[in-house]
Amino acid sequence: MVVWLGDKVAKFIEGLKDENIQPNGVDLTVSEIYVVKEAGELTVSGRKIPQYELLEGNKWLLKPGAYVVRYGEYIRVPEGAVGI
């Protein structure tokens, strides 16, 4: 396993600001947060799409629960990698 430094990771992230590149990684920003209202389901006979609700604003106080977070950056995972 190889762990990349922040400047190498940054090459695979679009929209990343220079000040968000750290020696050992990068700081991502939050664009939107959704509360999961109803879980999805995938079965042999079909699927049920999960239901989400957008949380308004640009500051959030999150209570315990399930959320979907949309980052402000676009992450491209390179071929041969499982994540960055």
pLDDT in tens, 11-68: 999 999 999 999 999 999 999 999 999 999 999 999 999 999 999 998 999 999 999 9
pTM: predicted TM-score of the whole model, two decimal places: 0.77
Cα(41)–Cα(50) distance, integer angstroms: 7
Query: What are the domain boundaries of the chain?
Result: 27-75
- The answer to whether the CB of 40 falls within 8 A of the CB of 49 is yes
- The answer to whether the CB of 33 falls within 8 A of the CB of 63 is no
Instruction: Label residue 71 exposed, middle or buried (CB < 10 Å: 0-12, 13-18, 19+).
Output: middle
5 has which bridge partners?
Answer: none
The amino acid that residue 42 corresponds to is L
